[in-house]
């Protein structure tokens, strides 16, 4: 993986090239090999300087996450970074100039390796991204990220980088001092040699010099305490119960800055071991990394179907969802016919896309040229004849079965055999919608999430007659628009809508029982949900919620709705009190300047409880309701695996990532405890808390519900 050679005049090159992977990843074997190369350099007096380069399009992408998942004790977790700590410390104390030539991604352990070099030059190209993304996987930097970075860019910038996990560009890295130079992508080695000959590359690190005069504030000064205190307050409290990594990052930095580098690295190693040995990091890695990457790879695609060539896409409906689908299709390079009932409506949809492009330009995410090219590929139309030649058509009209049948039938008449005809429906069974087409085998469900241009996920629903060819071609389309996907079987409400319905339905049932909506929403937020369920109901609109609950309730006999009061609660608010939504002037809450406030009339609709329900019980009801419904859908074969359920929950409705997802949440609680808790909830609140046999069996065997 590490090839050592001479470049010129005593300057050696360490060229990193991991043959068994697409990216350079540092596992324990790689670290051992790297240490051997460093020993050779230390022993060779003819080597006066070193260039560290990559043979791949990236520099180093970080550590091997499989090793982290396998480290189930503090001792194993410490051992993961112990050799790397010694290796990088040896590199930076060689007493020779060492330059990292960063040609692509330098993330996590890759950036930490670069910081252990005494100088850093990055290619002036968008391909270069630098960052400490560990927090997104429930980890902290373990190879010096919390210790070296403050000496280069200061405490506040380091905490912004490490706590957000977001990568920055080469120019941004130069501006804050994380790198020393920019150079053309094809001139990195030349730039490195020039810097050595110019004498600008130090042989020691700033933290090892006696006279350090950098950007680092003393943590014991007023400024230092203010900076660390601000971030410490942001990562402690109830949120720390669920996400230990942010507080561990601040703690490692705070303690490390009060001592020398060697002691600081040991402190970081200890904090790293604690989060690695805990359950949160493993849950997040399994879902947010391995699960999501599998969902992006289209591993579920039928392999015997040739790749589908797509050039032209038809989108039916230019509303929020339709315009979003048109946006991502055009962004992928496809020509798009955006159809609506009137030219005004179709043009309005394109105008919404143009506004999104302007926002992206203003934020530096898109160039003017790219935006103009994207918009040029979208043609607003009203005539179904303009769909001729489409390689796929996606229907995104209102969630009304009659309307959907009408537009699907009209589109099917123009679509060539074999081209997928997709419905963006959230609840209506695909098998029934397919009856609108003379070729039901070409019909499939593609459930997008709003806003389409930012949400990374599509739920694919296979109808009873959907063929492998239709599935494969639809997945080729989704891959082209760069979304992750799970494939589910056609059923009442599919997967995501059924589970989200269980969540919102339980919240409305709590409200109908007299629990304060503010308490319900606060408990949900504290558990890690992105939005309170009752706030979400007001945003969605209560009349629409009636239709959605009707779509997922069926004949009322399925276990998940036993004892439910969701439809009763929403219908009473709409019909008896005229409460509709936030946009309609008020629903569950009143709104002042867009902010929700308690609605005094709620007590007339649902008299409040005489005793406050404990937050713990409210949380269990909200979270367990989702896990139970997901487990039922896995047991029924609607969702193929618990990992698919986890990925769909994290990407689809932002189920808390610290749990690993809605199925792994059962394991986070403990399958045996989950079963016992649900039995108690069932006895008190109804049969919807009945535990599926698949979960009881896992608990009885002492196994994880999601063993992946």
Q: What is the pLDDT of residue 492?
A: 87
- pLDDT digit string, tens, across residues 4-60: 998 888 999 999 999 888 899 999 999 999 999 999 999 999 999 999 999 999 999
Which active-site residues does the annotation give? 112, 134
87 touches 111 (CB < 8 A): no
Identify the DSSP state of 614.
Answer: P
Indicate whether 232 pLDDT > 90. no
Six-digit token string for 579: 């409460």
Domain segments of the chain: what residues? 2-277, 312-489, 496-701
Cα–chain center distance at 630: 19
pLDDT category of residue 394 using cuts at 50, 70 and 90: very high
Indicate whether 132 pLDDT > 60. yes
Closest to 400 in 3D by CA, of 544, 536, 261, 513: 544
Cα separation of 664 and 351, whole Å?
A: 42
680 touches 517 (CB < 8 A): no
Indicate whether 545 pLDDT > 80. yes
Six-digit token string for 220: 């014991």
Cα–chain center distance at 302: 26
Six-digit token string for 559: 């276990």
Closest to 151 in 3D by CA, of 119, 115, 201, 182: 115
Cα separation of 299 and 209, whole Å?
A: 52
Strands 335-339 and 312-316: parallel
pLDDT category of residue 464 using cuts at 50, 70 and 90: very high
Six-digit token string for 607: 């008299």
442 touches 415 (CB < 8 A): yes
Q: What is the pLDDT of residue 211?
A: 63
Residues whose CB falls within 8 Å of the CB of residue 507, separated by 6 or more in sequence, listed in order: 520, 521, 524, 532, 533, 534, 537, 622
pLDDT category of residue 237 using cuts at 50, 70 and 90: low
Cα separation of 255 and 267, whole Å?
A: 7
Six-digit token string for 586: 């008020």
Beta bridge partners of 596: 591
Q: What is the mean pLDDT of the chain?
A: 93
Six-digit token string for 453: 């241009």
Beta bridge partners of 316: 339, 395
For tokens 């074997």, the residue is 29
Q: What is the mean pLDDT of residues 136-155?
A: 94
Q: What is the pLDDT of residue 20?
A: 85
Q: What is the pLDDT of residue 124?
A: 96
Residue 99, SS3 per DSSP: strand
Indicate whether 618 pLDDT > 90. yes
Cα separation of 567 and 682, whole Å?
A: 20
- pLDDT digit string, tens, across residues 254-270: 888 888 999 999 999 99
Six-digit token string for 47: 């080597």
Cα separation of 523 and 532, whole Å?
A: 8
Q: What is the DSSP string of 545-583?
A: HHHHHHHHHTTS-SGGGTT--HHHHHHHHHHHH---BTT
Q: Which CATH class is domain 496-701?
A: mainly alpha
* Helices 244-256, 145-153: inter-axial angle, 10-degree rounding: 60
Cα separation of 258 and 237, whole Å?
A: 24
Residues whose CB falls within 8 Å of the CB of residue 603, separated by 6 or more in sequence, listed in order: none
Q: What is the pLDDT of residue 217?
A: 57
Indicate whether 238 pLDDT > 60. no
Indicate whether 560 pLDDT > 60. yes
Burial zone of 684 (CB within 10 Å; 0-12 exposed, 13-18 middle, 19+ buried):
exposed
Cα separation of 660 and 489, whole Å?
A: 23
Q: What is the mean pLDDT of residues 700-707?
A: 94
Residue 646, SS3 per DSSP: helix
Six-digit token string for 496: 């995501």
Q: What is the pLDDT of residue 214?
A: 61
- Share of residues in the chain with pLDDT > 70 (%): 96
Per-residue H/E/C for 352-411: HHHHHHHHHHHCCCCCHHHHHHHHHCEEEECCHHHHCCCCEEEECCCCCHHHHHHHHHHH
Q: What is the mean pLDDT of residues 624-632?
A: 98
- pLDDT digit string, tens, across residues 650-679: 999 999 999 999 999 999 999 999 999 999
705 touches 695 (CB < 8 A): yes
Burial zone of 396 (CB within 10 Å; 0-12 exposed, 13-18 middle, 19+ buried):
buried
Give, in order, the Cα–Cα distances in Å from 558 to each of 562, 620, 695, 696: 7, 21, 17, 19
Strand ranges of the sheet holding 168-169, from the earlier edge strand across to the other edge: 106-107, 129-131, 168-169
Largest separation between any pair of C-alpha atoms in the chain:
88
Strands (E), 474-559: 484-489
**What pTM value is reported for the model?**
0.90
Domain covering 2-277: architecture: Alpha-Beta Complex (3.90)
Q: What is the pLDDT of residue 212?
A: 63
Q: Which CATH class is domain 312-489?
A: alpha beta
Cα separation of 322 and 340, whole Å?
A: 9
Residues whose CB falls within 8 Å of the CB of residue 700, separated by 6 or more in sequence, listed in order: none
- Tell which phi-psi region holds residue 177, choosing left (phi > 0), alpha (psi between -120 and 50) or beta: left
Q: What is the DSSP string of 302-357?
A: -TTSPPPP--EEEEE--SHHHHHHHHHHHHTT-EEEEE-SSHHHHHHHHHHHHHHH
Q: What is the DSSP string of 180-243?
A: SEEE-GGGHHHHHHHHHHTT-S-SS-GGGSSS--SSPPPTTSHHHHHHHHHHHHHH-STHHHH-
- pLDDT digit string, tens, across residues 325-351: 999 999 999 999 999 999 999 999 999
Beta bridge partners of 573: none
Q: What is the pLDDT of residue 556?
A: 84
Identify the DSSP state of 434.
Answer: G
């Amino acid at each position: 993986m590490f090839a050592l050679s001479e470049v010129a005049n005593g300057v050696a090159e360490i060229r990193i090239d991991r043959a068994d992977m697409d990216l350079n990843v540092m596992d324990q074997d790689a670290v051992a090999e790297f240490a051997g190369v460093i020993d050779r350099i230390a022993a060779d007096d003819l080597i006066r300087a070193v260039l560290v380069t990559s043979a791949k399009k990236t520099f180093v992408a970080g550590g091997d996450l499989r090793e982290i998942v396998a480290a189930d004790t503090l001792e194993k977790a410490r051992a993961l970074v112990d050799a790397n700590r010694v290796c990088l410390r040896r590199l930076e104390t060689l007493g020779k100039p060492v330059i990292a030539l960063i040609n692509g991604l330098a993330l996590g352990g890759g950036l930490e390796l670069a910081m252990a070099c005494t100088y850093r030059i990055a290619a002036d190209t968008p391909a270069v991204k630098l960052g400490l993304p560990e927090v997104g996987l429930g980890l902290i930097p373990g190879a010096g990220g919390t210790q070296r970075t403050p000496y280069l860019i200061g405490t506040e910038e380091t905490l912004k980088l490490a706590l957000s996990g977001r990568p920055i560009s080469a120019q941004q890295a130069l501006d804050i001092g994380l790198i020393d130079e920019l150079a053309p992508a094809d001139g990195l080695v030349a730039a490195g040699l020039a810097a050595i000959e110019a004498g600008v590359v130090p042989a020691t690190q700033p933290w090892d010099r006696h006279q350090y005069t950098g950007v680092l504030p003393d943590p014991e000064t007023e400024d230092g305490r203010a900076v660390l205190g601000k971030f410490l307050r942001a990562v402690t409290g109830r949120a720390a119960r669920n996400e230990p990594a942010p507080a561990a990052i601040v703690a490692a930095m705070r303690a490390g800055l009060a001592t020398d580098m060697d002691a600081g690295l040991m402190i970081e190693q200890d904090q790293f071991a604690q989060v690695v040995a805990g359950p949160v990091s493993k849950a997040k890695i399994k879902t947010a990394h391995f699960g999501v990457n599998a969902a992006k790879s289209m591993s579920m695609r039928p392999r015997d179907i040739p790749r589908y060539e797509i050039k032209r896409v038809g989108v039916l409906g230019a509303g929020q969802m339709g315009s979003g689908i048109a946006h991502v299709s055009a962004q992928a390079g496809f020509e798009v016919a955006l159809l609506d009932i009137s030219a005004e409506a179709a043009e309005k949809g394109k105008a919404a896309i143009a506004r999104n492009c302007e926002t992206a330009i203003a934020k530096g995410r898109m160039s003017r040229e790219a935006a103009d090219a994207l918009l040029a590929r979208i043609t607003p139309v009203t005539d179904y004849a303009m769909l001729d030649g489409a390689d796929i058509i996606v229907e995104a009209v209102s969630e009304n079965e009659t309307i959907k049948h009408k537009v699907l039938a009209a589109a099917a008449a123009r679509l060539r055999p074999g081209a997928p005809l997709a419905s963006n429906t959230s609840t209506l069974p695909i098998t029934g919608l397919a009856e609108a087409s003379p070729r039901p085998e070409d019909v499939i469900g593609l459930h997008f999430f709003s806003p389409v241009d930012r949400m990374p996920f599509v739920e694919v629903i296979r109808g009873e007659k959907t063929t492998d060819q239709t599935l494969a071609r639809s997945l080729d389309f989704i891959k082209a628009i760069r979304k992750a996907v799970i494939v589910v079987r056609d059923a009442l409400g599919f997967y995501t809508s059924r589970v989200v319905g269980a969540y919102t339905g339980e919240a409305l049932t709590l409200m109908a029982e007299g629990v304060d909506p503010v308490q319900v929403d606060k408990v949900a937020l504290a558990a890690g949900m992105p939005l309170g369920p009752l706030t979400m109901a007001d945003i969605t609109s209560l009349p629409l919620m009636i239709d959605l609950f009707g779509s997922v309730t069926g004949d009322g006999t399925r276990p998940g709705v036993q004892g439910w009061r969701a439809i009763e609660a929403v219908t009473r608010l709409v019909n008896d009190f005229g409460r509709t939504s936030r946009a309609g002037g008020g629903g569950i809450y009143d709104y002042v300047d867009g902010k929700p406030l308690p609605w005094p009339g709620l007590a007339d609709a649902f008299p409040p409880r005489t005793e406050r329900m404990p937050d713990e019980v409210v949380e269990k009801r909200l979270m367990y309701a989702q896990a139970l419904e997901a487990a039922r859908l896995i047991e029924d074969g609607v969702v193929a695996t618990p990992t698919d359920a986890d990925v769909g929950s994290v990407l689809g409705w932002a189920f808390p990532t610290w749990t690993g997802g809605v199925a792994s949440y059962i394991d986070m609680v403990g399958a045996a405890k989950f079963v016992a808790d649900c039995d108690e909830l069932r006895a008190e609140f109804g049969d919807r808390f009945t535990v599926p046999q698949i979960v009881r069996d896992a608990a009885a065997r002492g196994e994880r519900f999601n063993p992946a």
